[in-house]
Amino acid sequence: MALINKIREKSGWAVGAIAIGLGVFVVGGDLLGPNSRLLGNDTTTVGEIAGEKIDYQRFDMVFQQIKAQYEGQVQRAATESEMAMMREQAWNQLIFQIALQKEYDRLGIQVSEEELADMVQGNNIHPSVRQAFTNPQTGEFERNQVIQYLQSLDQTGGRPMWVNFEQSILNDRIQTKYSNLLTKSVYVTGAEAKKHYEAQNTIANMKVLYIPYFSIADSAVSVTDAQLKDYYNRNKELYKVEDGRTLEYVTIPVAASTEDMNYFQEELKDLTEQFTAATNDSAFVNTHSDTPYDGTYLHTAELPEELHKIAPLEEGKVYGPYNDGDTYALYKIVDIKDGSVNTARASHILIKPENDSPEAKQAALAKAKDIQAQIKNGADFAAMAAQHGSDGTASVGGDLGYFTEGRMVPAFEKAVFGASAEGLLPAPVETEYGYHIIKVTAPKSKRTYKVAAVQRSLDASDATRDQAYAMADELAGTSGSTNEFRENVKKNEALSIEEVPNVGKNNVLVGNLSNARELVRWAYSKDTSVGDVSPVFEINDQYVIATLTGQREKGYAKLEDVKEELTAAVRNELKAQQIIAKLKGATGSLDQIAANYGPDAIVRDAEEVSLASGAIPGLGLEPVAIGKAFGLKPGSRTAPIEGQGGVVIAELVNLTNSPDAQDLSGVKAQLANTRSSRVETNAFEAIKEKADIKDNRVRFF
């Protein structure tokens, strides 16, 4: 049975996926079919990958498999945001399966029957098989048990599980073959290794003249549309974009009003009286609390913080209400009895020695004794802790709160739990951390409490909710366009517009709004156009109304959409031309050229610059300037160069060539490892790029 369980662990998800698929087929056929009332008459195609259409049922089967596995691990239902991430995972898994399978087929990568048998019971056992059939007592793989298990499949009914398990290890082997094919194709030549070594180890000292672009005011440079278009065409590949929608939205919170608060306070008052008189506390809690009754006995250290402060507590008494934000709690002490473990509460002031020497320890002890004497003579313990304490408790007057036996280091615990009453202990206590001045604020006790807790949230009433919705509905109903939406918002000082540019089609977050999928789906609907105003959405206890102000399709960004970014880039080009023109014909040293140019020119030394770094200390990345400088003879300098943040003239002071490398094998291995770590990811991204993916998930989720 143990072996069957191991196989079940490996393949149970596949059986679950089959069951889910059958359920979708039987129950959801009418709902998800071409004449679906749920989806209208639209196609049920979620997307297309490498020419292969993905229908809803196929996508949902993969999603449900991932969801079931996740919920099994966390032992709770997945949240909306978690399910959004799992849908993304399911989509990527389908891309991986379909697009890569076509690549496997093209390359002829497969696993033969003989190879599969060898993986299961031959000489090259697959790791999953080895793990499932390893004897836990001996740690040895037992091939005979594999054979016995396979022979009993029909009798035990385990064949479907085994088939799925077998398919999983087959797929894993194919993927491993492809990965090996890619990584084994990585090759580093001796020339590459030598060049890499020299780029890292050849060091230059330079002197640099730098004139930043910001030294010329933006207003002094005029950028024309023709220049923007020219720059865009020259750098078009930098402006590839995904689908995006730009939204403006307002939120109307659904929060409890003053009237709601007053009513809630009266309700809590009545509830307190009823709770005090109740004879069946568990039933009362389960009827009136947002959280069920828990009859566990709690040590003082485990009580809610509000009860810590007033312990010891009285049996039968109701404490509260206490609030934490919008959550209110009443606590009733149902029973009191002694438990098996002591609890206590104490404060301390820790004095740490500066080092482990006897002299440092003696000095720390003397300081601790002096502080203790001051406290005995009337000094406030908390104030002294704040002044002299050397750990995190100093900010809270040294308070350690309640703690049970076994939580503190032995010497400290012995001192606290050895005290029979509260108060300052007579002498500092030494532990491995230093010397502790200890004040017992609650002596040891084994007392435990059974607490019945009624916890209620302050929620907006139906009347308050209706009022907020009416405001939202009026805004949506009277706004027929973006301009009307903006004008209507201006009329209400309580409202303000938030703008979110280029929201992706699979986004869950929209600005500060979480779980905003319905809003995103509205923005991407074929029935929504730029200028439209949304209906009212309820997102996270607030009503949201939005307007679509921009629409971007996958491909190259429209010039007008990136005009601001283009303008900044062209402006820097024009500034560079002005600076270079002013430097034309300049002679003398860099310091003299800088002096003639003006106060905006900066000259600085750049020492120990490597070609591989591409950066000049203090200036940042300037790879062109560094590359040109490394090609100079000492004492020579480059012409003015249009750099990343300004115009650069680099003068090579001296160049220290890299030491001769007797053995480049380590460099070759380093380069090979770096390339190997990227090759599989790069290959998948390239395959994904060529798969001509059409993603229509926004229509469904």
> Cis link prior to 321 (omega < 30° from 0)?
yes
CB 622 within 8 A of CB 213: no
Residue 19 in this model has a pLDDT that exceeds 70: no
pLDDT digits (tens, 9 = 90+) for 414-454: 999 999 899 999 999 999 999 999 999 989 989 899 999 99
Q: How many secondary structure helices (H) and strands (E) does the chain include?
A: 23, 22
Please state the domain extents for the chain.
Answer: 1-39, 113-184, 203-240+562-656, 243-254+462-553, 256-459
Range 492-500 contact pairs with CB under 8 angstroms and sequence separation of 24 or more: 495/250, 495/252, 496/250, 497/248, 497/249, 497/250, 498/248, 498/249, 498/250, 498/251, 499/246, 499/247, 499/248, 499/549, 500/246, 500/247, 500/248, 500/249
Q: What is the mean pLDDT of the chain?
A: 88
pLDDT digits (tens, 9 = 90+) for 176-203: 999 899 988 899 999 999 999 999 999 9
Residue 9 in this model has a pLDDT that exceeds 60: no
Q: What is the model's pLDDT at position 547?
A: 97
Residue 31 in this model has a pLDDT that exceeds 50: no
Asked which of 33-37, 55-59, 225-229, 285-289 is least confident by mean pLDDT, the reply is 33-37
What tokens appear for 15 in the block? 């059986």
pLDDT digits (tens, 9 = 90+) for 118-129: 998 888 999 888
Question: In terms of CATH architecture, what is 256-459?
Answer: Roll (3.10)
**Mean pLDDT along residues 452-457:** 92
Establish how many alpha carbons lie within 13 A of residue 1's alpha carbon, considering only the half-sphere containing its beta carbon: 0
Alpha helices by DSSP H, listed for 33-75, are 56-74
Which of 339, 456, 468, 337 is CA-nearest to residue 404?
A: 339
Asked which of 237-241, 495-499, 530-534, 615-619 is least confident by mean pLDDT, the reply is 615-619
Beta-strand runs (E) in 625-674 = 641-642, 646-656
Q: How many CB atoms sit inside 10 A of residue 462's CB?
A: 8
| Phi, psi for residue 255 in degrees, rounded to 5 | -115, 150
> In whole angstroms, how far apart are CA 512 and each of 381, 499, 542?
45, 10, 12
pLDDT above 70 as % of the chain: 94
**DSSP of 399-411:** EEEEEETTSS-HH
**Domain boundaries 243-254+462-553, corresponding CATH code:** 3.10.50
pLDDT digits (tens, 9 = 90+) for 629-680: 999 999 999 999 999 999 999 999 999 999 887 789 999 999 999 888 888 8
- What DSSP character marks residue 170? H
Confidence label for 510 from pLDDT (cuts 50, 70 and 90): very high
**Mean pLDDT along residues 464-480:** 94
**Mean pLDDT along residues 533-560:** 93
Do 243-254+462-553 and 256-459 come out as alike in CATH topology? Answer: yes
The DSSP bridge partners found for residue 545 are: 250
